[in-house]
Amino acid sequence: MPLRTHTGDPGAPTKGRGSTLNPEGRFETEARETFNDGWFEAGETRRLETVVAAECVKSIISRNDSPDVPFSQSVNPYRGCEHGCIYCYARPSHAYLGLSPGLDFETRLFAKTNAAEVLLRELAAPTYRCELIALGANTDPYQPIERHFAITRSVLQVLSDCRHPVGIVTKNAMVERDIDILAPMAERHLAEVFVSINCLDHEIARRLEPRCSAPLRRLETVRRLSQAGIPVGVLVAPIIPFLTDAHVERVLEAAWEAGARHASYVLLRLPYETKELFRAWLEHHYPLKAAHVMSRIQATREGRDNDPAFGTRMTGSGEFATLLQARFRLACRRLGYDIARRHATLDTTQFERPNLRGQLSLF
């Protein structure tokens, strides 16, 4: 595959970033190849600055009818994600922007600066029917640039004002900043948070998820959210065969001790360009086990790198997937986790449609 790398050594990691490559998106008709022209020493890497473009959107609520996810609508405040998780299934979406799912996905970001305003307008529509809104369905709502833009916080404030239920999935301790909004919502059964943790090994996490909060810091976030009265769960995702699967029980035990009472998991998914990025990452960081990991992944995906079929795309199929599911359920049952459908307790009956015209209600 032709590559667009930002290092002098093609395929070498860029400091502080997850992907080792910057391949052209699948819709591009032209490609560029990189080569060492002598300006960089072999193995030399350099930092890439994060570039953020403001984006004014016309709509903000995305809808889906997938039977594999426990929500039908979501809000994503950002395009691209600075966390740089090499396995991220959202990476291929950057190809629609004419950008690379590799390093571009981590460094060339888009902030939907009018998200709260558009959300308020969409909630005010007479045809809108209240259902849970998920934050973090595609990219993390608490990635580092949220500290500056605070778009997620503005979206939460709109949902709080309208008494609208929200579910959050994040890998970043920054969610603690918004406890002042989330705790009162939780008292009214309008909010819950899932913290994604797939292993407790700092070195693995540093390579897999270079700009996420460290695993132990995420456990502390679980504790603080729970102490604030916010229902909190742990999402063990993604589980990667022979890399993170041995951590499943330990993550569940540590999260339970910290206060998590709901749990779910997802087996590694590698759609579109993600599979090539993940292969290159494996070959660089874990060359001795790369072939073994990919072989086991294919065994759970009908012999392919990825299986997009509803019903199996989140959990896989085959012997390994079956055993993994049994392990997860057994550990949850032993600890006391609720593994029923997520967000089942959130209340949609309190929704107050915003009045943008200043008219008095008839009732």
pLDDT confidence tier of residue 97, bands split at 50, 70 and 90:
very high
Q: What is the pLDDT of residues 227-255, one digit of tens each?
A: 999 999 999 999 999 999 999 999 999 99
Q: Is residue 281 a part of any domain in this protein? A: yes
pLDDT confidence tier of residue 1, bands split at 50, 70 and 90:
very low
Q: Is residue 32 a part of any domain in this protein? A: no
Domain span including residue 289: 54-335
CA nearest neighbour of 130 among 340, 339, 353, 363: 353
pLDDT confidence tier of residue 345, bands split at 50, 70 and 90:
confident
The answer on pLDDT for 349 being more than 90 is yes
Q: Is residue 312 a part of any domain in this protein? A: yes
Q: Indicate the pTM of the whole model.
A: 0.91
pLDDT confidence tier of residue 309, bands split at 50, 70 and 90:
very high
The answer on pLDDT for 6 being more than 60 is no
Distance, in Å, from the CA atom of 355 to the CA atom of 316, rounded to the nearest integer, reads: 46
pLDDT at 3: 41
**Higher confidence at residue 360 or residue 135?**
135
Q: Is residue 1 a part of any domain in this protein? A: no
The answer on pLDDT for 173 being more than 80 is yes
The answer on pLDDT for 337 being more than 50 is yes
Q: Is residue 14 a part of any domain in this protein? A: no
Cis check: omega of the bond before 77, within 30 degrees of 0: no
pLDDT at 12: 65
pLDDT at 14: 84
Total domains in the chain come to 1
Q: Is residue 359 a part of any domain in this protein? A: no
pLDDT confidence tier of residue 8, bands split at 50, 70 and 90:
very low
Q: Is residue 245 a part of any domain in this protein? A: yes
pLDDT at 106: 97
Instruction: Find the CATH number of the domain harbouring 112.
Output: 3.80.30.30
pLDDT confidence tier of residue 342, bands split at 50, 70 and 90:
low
Q: Is residue 4 a part of any domain in this protein? A: no
**Higher confidence at residue 321 or residue 70?**
321
The answer on pLDDT for 313 being more than 70 is yes
The answer on pLDDT for 121 being more than 50 is yes
Overall average pLDDT of the 8-22 stretch = 77
13 contacts 45 by C-beta, under 8 angstroms: yes
The answer on pLDDT for 43 being more than 60 is no
